[in-house]
Chain A
Amino acid sequence: MKEIFIVEDDDGIRDLIEFLLVSQQYVVKTFPTARAFKNNITGETPDLFLLDIMLPDGNGLDLCKELKKNSNTSSIPVVLMSAHADINRMEGADDFIAKPFDVDELLNRIEKQLA
């Protein structure tokens, strides 16, 4: 059972992704803000991070950098997603998905990272 941590501030998207991933038998933990994410992952290491870039209290790019710096998490794949199409560079992340995304595309990319 692969575990995926999701950081996404929009309830609708968060619920959709959670629904999709759970449907695919993933274990999912969701966080609505950067702070919530940081406060609750102490010690825990999932198999993949799915991070929204635009967050109300920070951004996914910075989180990604921190994760990649941290030796505990540096080897865990990070997939970024954003509706802000300006950010189409991955900035050290393993993949990037633009919103609105194709559901199958999202699942394929995640699967690829976990393979």
Chain B
Amino acid sequence: MEKDFVKGKVNDGLRGDDSPEYFEDSPLGFYICDPRGSIIYYNRAAAELWGRKPVPASEVWSGAWKLFYPDGTPMAVEDSPMAAHFRTGNEGKHSEVLIERPDGTFKMLLVFCRPQFSKDKQHTNSHFTLVDITEQQRDHVKQATLSAIVASSDDAIISKDLNGIITSWNQGAERIFGYSEAEAIGQPITMLIPEDRLGEEKEIIANIKSGKRIKHIDTIRLDKNGREIPISVTVSPVKNAFGKIVGASKVARDISDRLQIVEKQAMLSAIVESSDDAIVSKNLEGIIMSWNRGAEQLFGYTEAEIVGKSITTLIPEERLKEENIILDRIRSGKKVDHFETVRCHKSGREFPVSITVSPIRDAKGRVIGASKVARDISVQVESQEAMEKYISNLETLNTVGKSISENLDVQGILQRVTDATTKLTGAAFGAFFYNTTDENGDSFKLFTLSGAPREAMEQLGMPRHTEMFIPTFVNKKVVRIDDIRKFSGHGNNAPYNGMPTGHFEVVSYLAVPVVAKSGAVIGGLLYGHPEPDVFTAEAELMVVNIAAQAAVSLDNSRLFEQVKSFSDKKDEFIALASHELKTPLTTIKGYLQVLTKKDNDPMSKLFIDKSLYQVEKLNALIEDLLNMSRIEAGRLDFNLEIFDMRELLGEILETFSYSATTHEVVNNLGSEPVFVKGDKQRIEQAVLNLLINAIKYSPSADKVYLSLEVVGKNVTVRVKDEGMGLTREQKEQLFTRFYRAENTKGISGLGLGLYLTKQIIERHKGVIQVSSEYGKGSEFYFTLPMRRKKMKKEKAV
């Protein structure tokens, strides 16, 4: 039998009750396997399901090309439910099997297995029925997907019947309205509707009944807590299989967020509108699209005037390039931050602004325009400029202060002060008037001028004691006038009755007195400018400060000039006094000399000699005084000649030894002549001074030393004593005028000798120095440049 099945035609081998003809046209797939699993029959439907026609008796358990478990994992045919059924012999078992067909499509099949038994209960063949459940499977997935969508939706998805009773309730509904599914189902939908909106529901139901869909109504619903929730609702009719409307599905979306955005936008618009900054938007062509109140105020155009016009309306011609640069940046999505530039007001006035430009993008992120915030920075710019000016003013003040405190020359101080303050105040011109009156009356003498030629001012006469000037020059008041034409004191004075023709045009006026410590007005600083409102309070303050400094300096300068004139008078006096002193001295000396020629007794002769000695001393003192004042006045004259220093020192020694009887002068003058160029008499005076000092300050010694030495191109003369020596302080002050060492009581002198000696040596381009050990003696030495011997010829000339 089995053999027949294998070999036979499809319809062969079936037993009577199997009647293959009966299966042949069945819509269900049907096939038969023998006990070994070989397919011995299959019908047309089975072949369609498999998508192929297996060769009978050559395949076992299934005619499918490939087998899978329902979850998609491959299934070996031995493990298939068909094979398993045969092994276990279970009846009526059905299993889901996924097959792949040769064309690549899949079918989900439900396989029913029915084992056949012989009369002796031996398992014979097995019958298999295949049901195609692919479609059902797909619907199931669809359903599941839909459910998942409904469940996971953020929107509330609710269905209700025509009586308004809730029939389904998703998680979104639960989240928005707060009721759980169990709480909501079976309840009337009206529980969600505020009382005053119940009418809406009737209208919705009416629409639904007539098959209409209601789209996006924005309304209010209540949540479980009675809180009002803004929602957007879409309601669609639900029809049954017969197309009859049985209810409605409702999708509600919480639009609180959306409303917040709207509110936010409203708020933003309010901010934009109320901003003092100009906020302007423009498209990529630079056409103005919006214009706030701030922009209206800043630029002067109304919204109506400017929207639709090019942004270049606001840009000064020379800055038009800026707009291209800005637009290029904006097009590439970049921002322009705090760009400081200049823009035009409707009136044409230009003013500094700081602008920030940001790209505007559409929902897709494309740049479609730019928003521009502009702020008037005139104040900042002004304050920055003011700051810079202030710093520069401080610098000027500093240099002026320095220069006027260092300077003792009146004209110099006043010129500096006038120049600097004219610059500081921004005046067109400034002048300092010295507070003096001339013989004719009340005029001030022009002293310095800045910003205008002196001649121009001098031609015009001096400021007089008019009402304009009294406050400054008499009452010591600062006068600052923004517009002199409005000042009542101006222009009422003869002879000009106003500004003299050709006078500097003065509209802004500033006058600051310069007051001395004594309280006297030294003068006044006057400034003028042809424009009104030029002089500021700061400028005034600065001038006042400088005037105060200048006053101090002028005081000092006056003192200096006084001292200088005293000094000049002193020199005159000394010159006169010395002349007057020498005149009687000449007579005394003359008669004493006449007396020496007479035959005198020894005592008279001694007395006459002593008197003559004192006359010489007196004469030397007068000479020292004279020389000192000459040196100070820079009028010490020199008769330069080239002479032999050795010879001069020899001469000095000869006469000196004669008059100095207390000390021996030990000398070492060498054997060669030493030539120097100088005033022989002055050098003699210098050497004598040193020798006299050496003797004077070594009263207990009996020797002084004089030496001459040549070192390189210089000659040095040394005078050494073994006297009291000098302290360090004494050495330092030794050469100053009128200096006399403290321990020299009982030793006469004016303190001029070393001072004059130093002056004489230095005027010969020489150096004088001292080395001394206190208590052991001092050595004074001076060095002069030496001349070559051949220069001796000059002396002859």
Please report A residues at the B interface, Cβ cutoff 8 Å: 10, 12-13, 15-17, 19-20, 54, 83-86, 88, 99-104
Contacts and interface: CB of A to CB of B under 8 A. Distances in A.
Contact of A104 (B593, B615, B619, B626): B593
Given A20-B594, A103-B593, A86 B630 contact: yes
Given A12-B584, A16-B586, A103-B590, 16 more contacts: A10-B586, A12-B583, A12-B586, A16-B591, A83-B579, A84-B575, A85-B578, A85-B623, A86-B575, A100-B582, A100-B585, A100-B588, A100-B590, A100-B619, A101-B590, A103-B589
A20 B592 CA distance: 12
Given A19-B594, A86-B630, A100 B589 contact: yes
B626 A16 contact: no
A92 to B, nearest CB: 17
Interface string B620-637: 000100100010000101
Given A86-B630, A104-B593, A13 B579 contact: no
A88 to B, nearest CB: 8
B587 interface: yes
Nearest to A106: B590
- Most chain B CB within 10 A, of A20, A101, A103, is at A103
A10 B585 CA distance: 11
Contact of A103 (B578, B585, B594, B623): B594
A83 to B, nearest CB: 4
Contact of A101 (B586, B626, B635): B586
A16 B590 contact: yes
Contacts of B619: 100
B575 A13 contact: no
Contacts of B626: 85-86
A85 B593 CA distance: 21
24 contacts: A10-B587, A12-B583, A12-B584, A12-B586, A12-B587, A13-B587, A13-B590, A16-B590, A16-B591, A19-B594, A20-B590, A20-B594, A83-B579, A83-B583, A86-B637, A88-B637, A100-B582, A100-B585, A100-B586, A100-B619, A101-B590, A103-B589, A103-B594, A104-B593
Interface residues of B, number: 23
Contacts of B639: 88
Contacts of A54: 579
A100 B580 CA distance: 11
- Most chain B CB within 10 A, of A12, A19, A88, is at A12
Contacts of B585: 83, 99-100
Contacts of A104: 593
B583 A10 contact: yes
Contacts of B623: 85
A80 to B, nearest CB: 14
Contacts of B584: 10, 12
Nearest to A19: B594
A88 B582 CA distance: 15
Contacts of A101: 586, 589-590
Nearest to A53: B579
Interface in B554-598: 575, 578-579, 582-591, 593-594
Interface in B729-748: none
A101 B591 CA distance: 11
Contacts of A84: 575, 579
A55 B608 CA distance: 31
A100 B622 CA distance: 11
B253 to A, nearest CB: 121
Interface string B64-102: 000000000000000000000000000000000000000
Interface in B633-663: 635, 637, 639
- Most chain B CB within 10 A, of A17, A88, A100, is at A100
A47 to B, nearest CB: 22
A54 B623 CA distance: 17
Nearest to A99: B586
Contacts of A103: 589-590, 593-594
Nearest to A17: B590
Nearest to B582: A83
What are the nearest 7 A-B pairs in CB distance? A83-B582, A12-B587, A100-B586, A103-B593, A99-B586, A16-B590, A100-B589
Nearest to A12: B587
A102 B295 CA distance: 107
B620 to A, nearest CB: 11
B594 A13 contact: no
Contacts of B591: 16
A16 B575 contact: no
Contacts of A16: 586-587, 590-591, 594
- Most chain A CB within 10 A, of B588, B589, B593, B615, is at B593
B635 A86 contact: yes
A54 B582 CA distance: 12
A19 B597 CA distance: 14
Interface in B247-287: none
- Most chain A CB within 10 A, of B579, B590, B626, is at B590
A107 B75 CA distance: 166
A53 B540 CA distance: 61
- Most chain B CB within 10 A, of A15, A17, A86, A102, is at A86
A23 to B, nearest CB: 8
A66 to B, nearest CB: 23
A10 B584 CA distance: 8
A68 to B, nearest CB: 22
A65 B575 CA distance: 24
A83 B585 CA distance: 10
Nearest to B618: A100
Nearest to B636: A86
A101 B639 CA distance: 20
- Most chain A CB within 10 A, of B587, B623, B639, is at B587
Interface string B651-693: 0000000000000000000000000000000000000000000
A99 B582 contact: yes
- Most chain A CB within 10 A, of B586, B619, B635, is at B586
Contacts of B635: 86
A13 B583 contact: yes
Contacts of A15: 587
B594 A102 contact: no
A70 to B, nearest CB: 28
Contacts of A86: 575, 626, 630, 635, 637
Interface string B431-449: 0000000000000000000
Contacts of B578: 83, 85
Contact of A99 (B575, B583, B593, B630): B583
Nearest to A105: B593
A20 B635 CA distance: 35
B615 A100 contact: yes
Nearest to B681: A88
A104 B589 CA distance: 11
B647 to A, nearest CB: 21
A15 B588 CA distance: 12
A21 B323 CA distance: 112
A101 to B, nearest CB: 7
A10 B594 CA distance: 18
A15 B583 CA distance: 13
Contacts of A99: 582-583, 585-586
B316 to A, nearest CB: 77
A85 B626 CA distance: 9
A110 to B, nearest CB: 14
Contacts of B586: 10, 12-13, 16, 83, 99-101
A29 B583 CA distance: 20
A10 B579 CA distance: 12
Interface string B593-612: 11000000000000000000
A103 B587 CA distance: 10
Nearest to A10: B583
Contacts of B579: 54, 83-84
